[in-house]
Structure 1
Amino acid sequence: MNLTIRPAVRTDCPRLLELIKELAEYERALHEVEVTSSHFEESGFGDCPVWWAHVAEISGIIVGFALYYIRYSTWKGQRLYLEDIIVTREYRRKGIGKKLFEAVLDDAQKKNLNGVLWQVLEWNKPAIEFYNQYAPTFNQEWITCTIDKK
């Protein structure tokens, strides 16, 4: 397996959107994916990008990615928020997710950020087991709240 982990580029966006839909389907929420390809591309590669990503590529095919943005905590300062990490089904359990996650951790360190945070669904046992190898703190106290545009 000739794996390359590299920063995402604009031309990767169509494949990233395919993987986003695959993740949404796995999380039983495909109907919630509303982002358009133009909005997604502009948000990552326009004049004021708000997200960055690493892709995992094998023989020129993107098989996974990790997408993040920088958020600000009034208590902690700038922190990296891992929005999504996905490896397509047939390439899971091959160490690709680990390499993507570690690329994100490396970015946080290079940017001198004060930490990394993310969310994981409580029923997603494979993801929880994966993250456990990094000894994270799982916070059961905070509840995620959202208000959608609609």
Structure 2
Amino acid sequence: MTSEPMTNDQLDIHLRVARREDCSRLLDLVHELALYEKAPQEVTVTLQEFEEAGFGNKPVWKAFVAEVDNFIIGFALYYIRYSTWKGQRLYLEDLIVTEAFRGKGAGKLLFNRLLQEAQELGFNGMSWQVLDWNEPAINFYNKYEAGLEAGWLNASLSKEQINNYKL
């Protein structure tokens, strides 16, 4: 996909598919998001790992970037999630717009591009997580009439926990 001009009343925002050379800027935005979410210490992925995961021999994610004047102001990164109940679904890992550009339409353009991608690829749905205290994000998703599910707890193991487990 080439750069697509997506304009709104305030900015000339261009969307395009992320490239390897964007990864450093994307990680800057990931760090910004982690700080906003009060968990900056949780970002442990290296630039090399991030690039390899997106552009190596077995890429596992794809992203769309939003640019203003050739500067990346936000991105939406997804991967394919398989549900034994629902089939293939687009899983939105991160939707990030840098603070100075929030509320100017970039998030909507990125989210709409994800919806288009889900339609084009024939996915059976789209899912993501949002922190229960992140009112601006919840309000954004409510505009799309997204279902917010209660009752599920997130579970995870770190690389260290996995490696320390005695099989």
In which range does the TM-score fall when normalised by the shorter chain?
over 0.9
State the partner residue of 1:50.
60
1:88 aligned residue: 98
Partner of 2:12: 2
Which secondary structure state, in structure 1, belongs to the residue aligned with residue 159 of structure 2? coil
Name the amino acid aligned to 1:18. D
Identity %: 56
Instruction: Kindly indicate whether residue 35 of structure 2 is the aligned counterpart of residue 13 of structure 1.
Output: no
> 1:124 matched to which residue of 2?
134
Q: Superposed, which structure 2 residues align to 1:1-150 within 5 Å?
A: 1-150=11-160
Q: Which runs of 5+ in 1 are unaligned?
A: none
Q: Which amino acid aligns with 1:34?
A: T
Whole-angstrom CA distance in 1 between matches of 2:34 and 2:41:
8
In the TM superposition, structure 1's runs of 4+ consecutive aligned residues that sit over 2 Å from their partners are: none
Q: TM-score, normalised by structure 2?
A: 0.89
Q: Which residue of 1 aligns with 2:163?
A: none
Larger Cα-atom Rg = 2
Give how far 1:129 is off. 0.2
Number of residue pairs aligned between Structure 1 and Structure 2: 150
How well do the aligned residues superpose, as a CA RMSD in angstroms?
Answer: 0.6
Q: CA deviation at 1:141?
A: 1.8
Question: Deviations along 1:98-149, whole A, 9 cap, x unmatched?
Answer: 0001111111111100000000000000000000001011110211111111
State the Cα distance separating 1:28 from its structure 2 match: 0.4
State the alpha-carbon separation in 1 of the partners of residues 42 and 27 from structure 2: 13
Bigger relative contact order (CA 8 A; separation at least 6): 1
